[in-house]
Structure 1
Amino acid sequence: MRHYDLLIFDFDGTLADSFPFFLEVFDTLADAHHFRRLDRSRLEELRGADVPQIMRHVGLPRWKLLPVAMHFRTLMAQSIGSIRLFDGVPDVLRSAAADGVLLAIVSSNSEANVRAVLGDDARLFAHFECGAALFGKRRRLRRVLQGTGVADERVLCVGDEVRDIDAAHAEGLDFGAVGWGYARPEALRARAPKLMFGSVEEMAVHLGCPVGY
């Protein structure tokens, strides 16, 4: 018997390997919106920080988040062909959907970018809540829950950032943290997720998705 009837995925750093692109364009965004460039020597330290801490580090005020996010989405759209799903992710999604599990995405990225990277596998998802503000994921999660009618205890959120965990916990939802994305695994463990996945293969096993590993 499966544990969850609805899986709500984050996109960047969870399903899609977009962190290299984020690093590639960060300085472009910083110069365009007048905040500090990323100190590459402190990258691992910053991967252990939450979003407000990173914003303070680069001198990015909260009121600039929306224009910066919109600029990032535009840059990604221009280079969308270079963004790929992590190896094994398509198989996990297909296996879960074939087992009758509902799939949803809640992302601060644009739906157009998300669908472009997913390709034909976008059809596996019942709900897209995209374009969410960096601190607006809780509201988007609630919309997915209302749209599906799945009981909270049958829902698992999956993501790679501290803010993802905080949003899920605020809604009383279980969370599966992935260790291959933007945040360091130690930072995620400190928020006590229900599950911790060290690899896509491990996620497949925990979710009961037989994909030939």
Structure 2
Amino acid sequence: MTLLVFDFDGTIADSLEAIVAMSNRLAPQYGLPPASLEDVSELRDLSFNQLMRRIDVPLVPLFRLLRRVRRELQAEIPRLSPIPEMAETLQTLSQQGQVMGILTSNSAENVRIFLRIHQLESSFEFIQGNASIFGKSRIIKRLIRQRSLSPAELIYVGDETRDIEASRRAGVPVAAVTWGFSTRRALVKNSPTYVVDRPAELLTIVKTHRP
């Protein structure tokens, strides 16, 4: 059976607005400018490499800011909701015996709190948190080795162009969801294996995917 591995923020949890607001509040403490709505809208339409060139800020304070946001996000978790239709889709997949996990740059504890609140914890076999911005492909490769899978037997589900790039480096199929950070246009430009406009479409992908 195919292993389905999900990103968390923007893919399962509707958390992007909270993350942007918190980043803007904390950014001046790290000598970084806040992002306007226009800035965020423009960034969503870029590939990861284009995004990194466009923001043009020092990486060290940026990564420190992101770590701080991850820590402080825990207080916001009780106020976050799943993406519409996502909870039902995950429950259906779980009832069908689908093996699922989460691989995210957020903390595993934040994810567990969210899943517990929304009664989704039993749907996932594992949660791998604190993945670095460049480290997802390495972790995906490790999952393949540990579970004796072929690369085609793991599908990564994510909302950003960097999720597509990480999946490509790991040699696995990727289902790019259009309700998260990256726009549909940006995702399609990066040629994912699947483009997903509604969570329920994952049911068909799992059923028809042939490793």
Same-fold status (TM-score > 0.5): yes
Deviates more, 1:51-60 or 1:153-162: 51-60
Alpha-carbon distance in 1 for matches of 2:182, 2:155:
19
Q: Which residue of 1 aligns with 2:203?
A: 204
Identity rate, percent: 28
Alpha-carbon distance in 1 for matches of 2:83, 2:160:
16
Q: Which residue of 2 aligns with 1:121?
A: 120
Q: Which residue of 1 aligns with 2:130?
A: 131
Q: Secondary structure at the match of 2:134?
A: coil
Q: Is the 8 A contact 1:36 1:58 kept in 2?
A: no
Q: Secondary structure at the match of 1:170?
A: helix
Q: Which residue of 1 aligns with 2:82?
A: 85
Alpha-carbon distance in 2 for matches of 1:122, 1:148:
21
Matched positions, count: 206
Alpha-carbon distance in 1 for matches of 2:148, 2:96:
18
Q: 1:29 to 1:57 in 2, by over 3 A?
A: farther
Q: 1:58 to 1:153 in 2, by over 3 A?
A: closer
Alpha-carbon shift at residue 23 of structure 1 (Å):
2.1
Alpha-carbon shift at residue 71 of structure 1 (Å):
0.6
Q: Which residue of 1 aligns with 2:190?
A: 191
Q: Is the 8 A contact 2:23 2:66 kept in 1?
A: no
Alpha-carbon distance in 2 for matches of 1:166, 1:57:
18
Alpha-carbon shift at residue 158 of structure 1 (Å):
0.6
Q: Which residue of 2 aligns with 1:146?
A: 145
Q: Which residue of 1 aligns with 2:169?
A: 170
Deviates more, 1:41-50 or 1:159-168: 41-50
Alpha-carbon shift at residue 108 of structure 1 (Å):
0.3
Q: Deviations over 1:43-78 (max 9, x none)?
A: 322101234444444443222344222211122111
Alpha-carbon distance in 2 for matches of 1:133, 1:65:
13
Q: Is the 8 A contact 1:157 1:168 kept in 2?
A: yes
After TM superposition, the runs of 4+ consecutive aligned structure 1 residues lying more than 6 A away are: none
Q: Is the 8 A contact 1:157 1:174 kept in 2?
A: yes
Report the AA paired with residue 166 of structure 1: E
Q: Is the 8 A contact 1:85 1:118 kept in 2?
A: no
Q: 1:65 to 1:126 in 2, by over 3 A?
A: farther
What is the RMSD computed on CA atoms of the aligned residues? 1.9
Show structure 1 runs of 5+ residues with no match: none
Q: Secondary structure at the match of 1:135?
A: coil
Q: Is the 8 A contact 1:38 1:58 kept in 2?
A: no
Deviates more, 1:137-146 or 1:5-14: 137-146
